[in-house]
Amino acid sequence: DGTSCDKCGAGWYSTDGQACKRCAENHYSEAEGAAQESVCTGCPAHTSTGTSTGVTTPSGCLPDPGYTGDYTSLDACAAGTYKEDVGTKPCTACLAGKASTGQNETSVDCCVTCASGQYSQSGAQFCKCSDSVRIKQSDGTCVCPAGYHPNGTSCDTCGAGRYSTDGQACKRCAENHYS
């Protein structure tokens, strides 16, 4: 009969009583018949609706890249992992031979290849020295300790009558001295 009006549904609002408009991206509204845009609530921190508009519940707010879980319980991706997309999927572990020290990483590019003579398991935060004797320095390099010398990517002990104070070349003991 032309005299009845339908109210806007959840996720929508109308400021002029005419056309219903969707709540914008990264907003939601559970209210029906909303008469102002302010009824659209912003998604919680580190969540978004992606490109969706007209979202009707906070569960439509999905974890941003670098985060996993849901809108009620978010976790940043741990070091050694990343997540590139909006959504509830879990974080992806860096492959073996790569590592990442940062949290809430958003790209596979955060996974850095281990240096020569180093290795890592899948999902590692740090690369480790390949030889159990080697010591990892603060600059990330692996060196041999005193009493050893490098032999490729491993460390060998200095033989009888030889010594090393710096983990580099072994030196002969002075005359009338031994090791």
In this predicted model, what pLDDT tens digit does every residue of 36-72 receive, in sequence order? 999 999 999 999 998 999 999 999 999 999 999 988 8
Contact 70, 48 (CB under 8 A): no
Q: What is the pLDDT of residue 3?
A: 53
Contact 31, 39 (CB under 8 A): yes
Can you tell me the distance from the alpha carbon of 91 to that of 50, in angstroms, rounded to the nearest whole number? 17
Can you tell me the distance from the alpha carbon of 8 to that of 20, in angstroms, rounded to the nearest whole number? 6
Can you tell me the distance from the alpha carbon of 59 to that of 14, in angstroms, rounded to the nearest whole number? 23
Can you tell me the distance from the alpha carbon of 59 to that of 52, in angstroms, rounded to the nearest whole number? 13
Q: Around Cβ 73, how many Cβ atoms within 10 Å?
A: 8
Can you tell me the distance from the alpha carbon of 12 to that of 37, in angstroms, rounded to the nearest whole number? 8
Answer yes or no: is pLDDT of 4 > 80: no
In this predicted model, what pLDDT tens digit does every residue of 62-110 receive, in sequence order? 999 999 998 889 999 999 999 999 999 999 999 999 999 999 999 999 9
